[in-house]
């Protein structure tokens, strides 16, 4: 069984669009190269449980953040609130998933 989490590292190549388009917003995608480290790891039941736990918590954090940012933007007539909220939501979910997965793999459960 292959560890497909490592394939998320392919998204790191999107960071090169920042060099081609002079848009620094793409540079954050270079962080996905870190997922290539999981290609050598053989997934077992504990690893998959840690992935599911980290993914669920990152997903629910995104469910809370996005409506808050959009609500603040709607109250202040900040028209770019939807774009900012979406970008922050995406970045938070990926960052939180990465941090939690690393934490669970190094320290076990969060109990």
List of the chain residues with pLDDT < 70? 1, 109-111
- The sign one gets for the Cα dihedral 36, 14, 24, 101 is negative
State residue 68's pLDDT score: 86
Per-residue pLDDT of 83-108, as tens digits, reads 777 888 899 999 999 999 999 999 87
Give the position of tokens 């629910």.
60
User: Which pLDDT does position 109 carry in this prediction?
Assistant: 65
- The Cα–Cα gap between 98 and 100 comes to 6
Q: Are 23 and 17 in contact (CB under 8 A)?
A: yes
């Amino acid at each position: 069984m292959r560890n497909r989490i490592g394939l998320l590292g392919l998204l790191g190549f999107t960071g090169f669009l920042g060099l081609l388009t002079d848009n620094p917003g793409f540079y954050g995608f270079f962080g996905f190269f870190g997922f290539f480290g999981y290609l050598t790891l053989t997934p077992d039941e504990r690893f998959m449980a840690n992935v599911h736990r980290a993914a669920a918590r990152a997903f629910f954090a995104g469910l809370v953040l996005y409506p808050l940012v959009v609500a603040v933007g709607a109250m202040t007539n900040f028209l770019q609130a939807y774009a900012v909220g979406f970008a922050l939501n995406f970045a938070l979910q990926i960052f939180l998933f990465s941090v939690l997965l690393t934490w669970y793999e190094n320290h076990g459960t969060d109990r």
